[in-house]
Structure 1
């Protein structure tokens, strides 16, 4: 592999520096580095970050290749600046055995656009009745460390306790989709003023908060790790903050759409805004931003949920829940967190690379931009402004809530172990 010199980039938003990549690693970081024998990337005014890591991606393969494949999903990830993604288990068949997780893992290796780490199901078939083969998935070639029934809540407290006890043996983590099913039967959107006015079934905040409260207590009792998926309410923030103050080993994520969008958008009845958990209120959005800034919420995760056109272009009640997010996540975080002064670029690197890599144990990712480290890097132009056009997406699906919206920032280059997967904003 040839040498690459990234010249004049603001490493983590700091002073401009040169970064020399030699093969798969960063050879040198400094000023005035020699460009002899190297391909030069002029990065004046751009910010260099460690490659982004997404702890919550739906790649749909096997079984729903009409929505996304591992190849198209990892192309979308690279376009968004990601070098590693964790693929959720709600595929067809469910990723609840060593055989299925190894299939996803191998497809990721074949794609070449970013590393794919499968997430194993907590229960067989996501049915919440019997623990899946957690140990076998961990011992497989895929080396699964994160387990989740995402899309469904592990609502049985005994099953959840057993899962926490099991993964403790090898340092794994259970990622919970916090949704009390009895409290959300027939729910279509956030429960509140807007749902009452629209006549849509309400999704109360307590359905999320009650599960989080139970699970942090279970994690404390067992002495195990629990991760809260797509936290969405101000009340959930307070519970996680309380749990951390007690020393409970809990981490939490927020999605970009919950940092920006509110339930007021549902007044359009456009199913592109239908998501699980639902868009909440402005009060919730502000609480989530503050919690991400102060570290109560550890990471940003996309919950990239692709759906084919026919599953979204229908009446609200029949539409599938979910939004694509890999290609817009960094831009939304720049708008909601950087441009509001809540985070600097070093904070973005922590919430979108260092911390998710640490939680998921993504080897070689979320590492400092320094000599000797793997050259997994993302170069972003923060001065760019552009209108989102889903026709430009690398993802197979187009269900974005940002179509026609102007967002800041653009990923110009992504490097996976020194190989450019994105060059000048286009897939290599």
Structure 2
């Protein structure tokens, strides 16, 4: 099917803009020109809205199989499409865990049946995410999984992580890590700091994250592996990653929108929409994360979209699960509260949502150019609205950003040449 997009404003590498038409045929961009006159099955007037490469999120939870009451591959990818994401990478904390060839193949089959955007699945580093026995990394890597991770739990022993890194390095596949030393978590549910004291909640020390990153970068150096750190949250973690990069170690890292936009002071009451792991840290940590992102210590942004049923999140801070949703709000929140406040540029934001994750993981996406895969996100940068969790396509409504004002919105998402989300553009 051919699609002709009229009156796009393309954001270029030099941060300039140009008005173009884009012709899409056979899942690829066929032509980009100031004006294209051609009869196609579908012609969409984009009304001078801004076109970006489809956003890429390398850290989301789709919950299927086994957690369909929280999210499914279909609902999660519909949420991704609404947020402008055309490539998402699904974490393996499902039931069954994708830790063998059979379960990985079943996951690929289900993705092919129901996903509305591209899903690149992770496989588990260890059997059942238990940290006790390695999955058959080499055989599973041959099936085309995105990378290996035990996200949700840290690998607790250096021996297990070193062996995993050596196996992954042998097949040129990254190891992606949720960094958390369980021996110093102390049953915490919030950051160990002012809010944990005020609310009398057990706190999670910053050290539980940073100490494991420090261990792992040295292991990655020894194994000659690509080591990627999930959802960095502390200033000490930023310092360790910065030093490791200076030493030439192949370490990369991500940060979430919520850790950039919120800190522990946002927790006023026992509201579990503010419970996530890693937790919201101090204001100093928040500032260090943005600095690290700007100076390149942290490579890009990922949402850690983690949907839960409302009944689960209603159990209070002590008993409810960690995690919030983020796919449908990420761009709009970051644009409104970082770009419009001139803390970052629009080009930086687009790079961190598209170009940098593609570069880090060697993905052939993140481009609006002729012959490229037709993944495009069209955004109305002037649309004012208010976040309403009841309008989410995700099954998860667990967000701390409900009722926040936003100043932009994705209005058209095209994944592999197919319209997967569209709403009224407004001139």
Note the alpha carbon deviations across 1:169-196, whole angstroms, 9 max, x for none: 1111111111110110210100112211
The Cα of 1:272 is off from its aligned counterpart by 0.8
SS in structure 2 at match of 1:383:
coil
Q: Is residue 2:375 matched to residue 1:376? A: yes
SS in structure 1 at match of 2:384:
strand
Contact 2:89–2:146 (8 Å) recurs in 1: no
The Cα of 1:150 is off from its aligned counterpart by 0.6
Provide the residue aligned with 2:254 in structure 1.
Answer: 253
Structure 1 distance, partners of 2:154, 2:50, is 38
Structure 2 distance, partners of 1:103, 1:133, is 16
SS in structure 1 at match of 2:382:
strand
- Please, which of 56, 61, 65 is the counterpart of residue 64 of structure 2? 61
Contact 1:25–1:372 (8 Å) recurs in 2: yes
| TM alignment of 1:198-347, pairs within 5 A | 198-347=199-348
Gaps of 5+ in 2: none
Structure 1 distance, partners of 2:282, 2:385, is 26
SS in structure 2 at match of 1:96:
coil
Q: Is residue 2:4 matched to residue 1:4? A: yes
| TM alignment of 1:24-35, pairs within 5 A | 24-35=27-38
The Cα of 1:163 is off from its aligned counterpart by 0.7
Structure 2 distance, partners of 1:354, 1:109, is 25
The Cα of 1:283 is off from its aligned counterpart by 1.6
- TM-score, normalization: structure 2? 0.95
Contact 1:145–1:171 (8 Å) recurs in 2: no
SS in structure 1 at match of 2:179:
coil
SS in structure 1 at match of 2:221:
helix
Contact 2:60–2:89 (8 Å) recurs in 1: yes
Provide the residue aligned with 2:133 in structure 1.
Answer: 130
Structure 2 distance, partners of 1:172, 1:425, is 41
Structure 2 distance, partners of 1:112, 1:145, is 16
The Cα of 1:361 is off from its aligned counterpart by 3.9
| TM alignment of 1:73-84, pairs within 5 A | 73-84=76-87
Note the alpha carbon deviations across 1:131-164, whole angstroms, 9 max, x for none: 1121121122xx1141111110012100000111
Q: Is residue 2:55 matched to residue 1:52? A: yes
CA RMSD of aligned residues (A): 1.7
Q: Is residue 2:406 matched to residue 1:407? A: yes
Structure 1 distance, partners of 2:166, 2:338, is 36
SS in structure 2 at match of 1:403:
coil
Contact 2:19–2:34 (8 Å) recurs in 1: yes
Contact 1:11–1:369 (8 Å) recurs in 2: no
SS in structure 2 at match of 1:102:
helix
The Cα of 1:349 is off from its aligned counterpart by 2.6
Contact 1:259–1:336 (8 Å) recurs in 2: no
| TM alignment of 1:87-236, pairs within 5 A | 87-140=90-143, 143-236=144-237
SS in structure 2 at match of 1:268:
coil
Contact 1:289–1:336 (8 Å) recurs in 2: no
Structure 2 distance, partners of 1:297, 1:219, is 17
Report how many aligned residue pairs link the two structures. Answer: 422
Structure 2 distance, partners of 1:397, 1:425, is 24
SS in structure 2 at match of 1:267:
coil
Structure 2 distance, partners of 1:326, 1:104, is 21
Structure 2 distance, partners of 1:415, 1:29, is 16
Structure 1 distance, partners of 2:257, 2:48, is 24
Note the alpha carbon deviations across 1:234-261, whole angstroms, 9 max, x for none: 1111111111111110000001111111
Contact 2:5–2:46 (8 Å) recurs in 1: no
- Please, which of 14, 17, 22 is the counterpart of residue 15 of structure 1? 17
Structure 2 distance, partners of 1:386, 1:24, is 32
The Cα of 1:45 is off from its aligned counterpart by 4.5
- Please, which of 41, 46, 49 is the counterpart of residue 44 of structure 2? 41
Structure 1 distance, partners of 2:319, 2:44, is 48
Moved more, 149-158 or 282-291: 282-291
Contact 1:306–1:322 (8 Å) recurs in 2: yes
Moved more, 289-298 or 369-378: 289-298
Provide the residue aligned with 1:419 in structure 2.
Answer: 418
SS in structure 2 at match of 1:84:
strand
Moved more, 334-343 or 113-122: 334-343
Q: Is residue 2:364 matched to residue 1:348? A: no
Gaps of 5+ in 1: none
